[in-house]
Chains A and B, each alone.
Chain A
Amino acid sequence: MRAVHLPLLLAGLLLTGGAHASVAEHVHASHAWIRVLPGNLPAGAYVTLSNDGDKAIALSGANSTTYSEVMLHQSSSEGGMSRMAMVDSLSVPAHGSAVLAPAGYHLMLTKPMRPVKPGDSVRLILRFTDGSTLATDFLARPANAVDDSH
């Protein structure tokens, strides 16, 4: 009995959980790419988010089945020093956009669970502070790619 019930219960819980995580339908992702570095080095992921809704929304991070950890970071260069800091969220204003681009906001992807090569497509589930999500495919680009395709 138990053996039958537990999976059912789990499936039920997962379904309920899924129902709560709505799709961020007013947000559109474009220009999503990852700069792939050799070995298991952390990689930076970039994307432009536009919000055609009437309410601001805020990106809080992302989940991935390819990388163990994804963190929202911001690089800064003040007083001739390069620094990186974790940020809780990045606002995407109503009828506006937010840009994650080199030398600014980015998602830091660490500990790849499989090798990622330039040309691969990597799916990240972007997470917003209101609980909604947006599945986005990121194009893996070589280490020396220059962000010129804006």
Chain B
Amino acid sequence: MKPHHLPRIALLLLLLAAGLLLGGCQRSEPLPLLLTNVSGHMPDLDFKLIDDHGKTVTGADYRGKVVLLYFGYTHCPDVCPLTLAHLHVVMQRLGPLADGARILFVSVDPTRDTPDVMHAYVNAFDPRAVGLTGSPRMVEALVKRYRSSFTREPTSTDGNYEVSHGSAIYLFDRDGRARALATPAASQDDIVHDLHLLLDTGAAP
């Protein structure tokens, strides 16, 4: 009996090992992203900020959703609204799948961008957009985490000022892992393509 059992156990172990290896391979296989792939090169989504309902939220609150992170400010009349308008079109093109994604618009001008201002602003673009603000230190922590930056420009005579800021859009998968980087000039087709991939990857909603 014994000589018969041994090969069987060995075979089982072999199959198990093979299965594990295959599983491992699948997990580390790079996603065929069209945007700049940053998988493994940027930290996971983590922050503590105030959302546009005035509630304290963290990166963990968006686990299960694919996240598009973008820095800007509401007194920015040109590039920020253009980028958000493009992201709205991208979300529309996802159809019902868009519910699995969130646009996180983080203010680099927290002094003027209160949760109320942010609420009216993000809702003018897309129902799946969330406005995040907080203390300058909280915002700075997130900006630095993604190696971005912002600079408040000199105040003009009428009290207005501009804020120069990093223009990148960061894409995270449902597990909060940084996956791709898009510029505001990236094609909508590429963003839609990569969002489809990310919506199919990671933890189920």
A33-41, A55-63, A132-140 - interface stretch: A33-41
* Given A80-B167, A109-B77, A145-B85, 13 further pairs, Cβ under 8 A: A37-B124, A38-B123, A44-B78, A75-B79, A77-B79, A77-B184, A80-B148, A80-B168, A80-B183, A81-B167, A82-B72, A143-B121, A144-B124
* Cβ–Cβ < 8 Å partners of B89 in chain A: 146
B126 / chain A contacts, CB cutoff of 8 Å: 144
Determine the chain A residues whose CB is within 8 A of the CB of B185 once the complex forms: 77, 103
Contact yes or no, B125 A103, CB < 8 A: no
B64 touches A (CB below 8 Å): no
Q: Which residues of A contact B77 (CB under 8 A)?
A: 35, 37, 41-44, 73, 106, 108-109
- Report yes or no: B164 in contact with A82, Cβ–Cβ below 8 A: yes
Interface pair B88/A82, CB less than 8 Å apart: no
Q: Which residues of A contact B81 (CB under 8 A)?
A: 35, 37, 44, 102, 143-144
Q: How far is the CA of A50 from the CA of B180 in the complex (A)?
A: 40
23 A-B pairs with CB atoms under 8 Å apart are: A35-B77, A37-B74, A37-B77, A37-B121, A38-B123, A42-B77, A43-B77, A77-B79, A81-B164, A81-B165, A81-B167, A82-B165, A82-B166, A84-B79, A103-B79, A103-B185, A106-B78, A110-B158, A144-B88, A144-B124, A144-B125, A144-B126, A146-B85
List A residues at the B interface (Cβ < 8 Å): 35, 37-39, 41-44, 69, 73, 75, 77, 80-84, 102-103, 106, 108-110, 142-147
| Shortest Cβ gap from B70 to chain A (Å) | 10
The reply to whether the CB of B39 lies closer than 8 angstroms to some CB of chain A is no
| Minimal Cβ-Cβ distance residue in B for A77 | B167
Min Cβ gap B41→A in Å is: 15
Q: How far is the CB of A18 from chain B (nearest CB, A)?
A: 27
Q: Rank and list the top 9 A-B pairs by shortest CB-CB distance, nearest first.
A: A143-B124, A38-B120, A44-B77, A102-B82, A82-B167, A42-B77, A83-B164, A144-B85, A144-B88
A69/B124 in contact, CB under 8 A: no
Q: A75-B79, A82-B184, A144-B84 are in contact. Are A38 and B121 (CB under 8 A)?
A: yes
- Docked CA distance A43–B117 (Å): 15
Contact of A81 among B76, B149, B160 (CB under 8 A): B149
Residue of A nearest to B116 (CB): A39
Out of B125, B167, B168, name the residue touching A143 (CB < 8 Å): B125
A contact residues around B72 at 8 Å (CB): 82
- Assembly CA distance A145 to B125 (angstroms): 9
